[in-house]
Amino acid sequence: MPQPVFIASDHRGFSLKNKLKLEHPDFIDLGPSELNPNDDYNDSANAVAKKVLETPGSKGILICGSAIGVSIQANRHKGVRAAVVSDLDSAIKTREHNDANILCLSSDKISDSKDPLESEKALEDVSAVVNAFLETDFSNEPRHVRRIKKLDEEL
Amino acid sequence: MPQPVFIASDHRGFSLKNKLKLEHPDFIDLGPSELNPNDDYNDSANAVAKKVLETPGSKGILICGSAIGVSIQANRHKGVRAAVVSDLDSAIKTREHNDANILCLSSDKISDSKDPLESEKALEDVSAVVNAFLETDFSNEPRHVRRIKKLDEEL
């Protein structure tokens, strides 16, 4: 069975979310279903965090302008490891080292450029990041396991 | 009075921490004081998060290999807004939009390259990110204030 993947965005990530869904019709879209310029990244982040925590073996994808707002909100949830990633190498390493379960993407890095070739290249790069994140396994090395456990200790 | 800035790293961020301290001798170094290849990013992140929360008007800087480990750990603390930043524009925006109080830097982006000019350029870029983060004020716009408040609501 393929892993369930939950995706959500705020208004600034809405367009990129729709583009990624065209490539991945299996993604489970937690919203928004239409553009609302007044929505808050917090609500999308909490929705994906809760679903990922209650669905074993699932992953999440969150998109806002910078990826930072959604990452702060998602990481408020114990058990969530939400990674701000903008390149392929980081996508692979955060799965291997952090067992990251939510990928946070910045829509600002996908310029809606006037140059269609530039836009297409930017979308290809993001698609490669998404695929690497979904396909890379956690290394399970003891030092990484130790650090992941510490993330959920009492503060 | 200048704002107190707390800095800490894990072993992979140790070298970059020392370089930044040369430029900013006023930074308050929370460790490590010597390289320990077995330390965990969690401990540096918790130390800086706690100091930033108990010191009004202060900021923090955290460094690990990818910036992701320290960011997840720091964002477990309510009141912390830890931003993974790798470029100048994001450093400015995360201050203006998120009122980020901890900057998370990746030492992997600072290659200890064989080419000294390349290393020097990479360090200059990181220094510019640090300075922009420390010098940019929060916008105080109502929509950003609303989202920041939501970050610390009960989940």
Q: What is the ipTM of this complex?
A: 0.97
Reported as a single tens digit per residue, the pLDDT across A74-90 is 999 999 999 999 999 99
Check pLDDT > 70 for residue B117. yes
Please determine, for residue A132, whether its predicted confidence score (pLDDT) is greater than 80: yes
The number of domains in chain B is 1
Domain coverage including residue B42: 5-151
Chain A touched by B94 (CB under 8 Å)? yes
Chain B interface, mutation test: which of A41, A50, A68, most B Cβ atoms within 10 Å?
Answer: A68
B41 touches chain A (CB under 8 A): yes
Q: Is B105 on the interface with A (CB under 8 A)?
A: no
- Check which CATH number belongs to the domain holding B115 and give it: 3.40.1400.10
Question: Is-contact B44 B61, C-beta < 8 A?
Answer: no
Tell me the per-residue pLDDT of A39-74, one tens digit each, with 9 for 90 and over. Answer: 999 999 999 999 999 999 999 999 999 999 999 999
Residues paired with residue A104 on neighbouring β-strands, in sequence order: A62, A84
pLDDT of B51-79, one tens digit each?
Answer: 999 999 999 999 999 999 999 999 999 99
Full DSSP string of chain A = -PPPEEEEE-GGGHHHHHHHHHH-TTSEE-S-SS--TT--HHHHHHHHHHHHHHSTT-EEEEEESSSHHHHHHHTTSTT--EEE--SHHHHHHHHHHH---EEEEEGGGS---SSHHHHHHHHHHHHHHHHHHHHPPP---HHHHHHHHHHTS--
B111: three-class secondary structure by DSSP: coil
What region, left, alpha or beta, does residue A123 occupy, with left being phi > 0 and alpha being psi -120 to 50 degrees? alpha
Which residue shows structure tokens 């309510």?
B78
Percent of chain A with pLDDT over 70: 97
Query: Average of pLDDT values for A6-25?
Result: 97
Look up residue A32 and give its two tokens.
Answer: 């928004």
- Which residue of chain A is at minimal alpha-carbon distance from B80? A72
Please tell me the predicted confidence (pLDDT) of residue B118.
Answer: 84
pLDDT at B26: 98
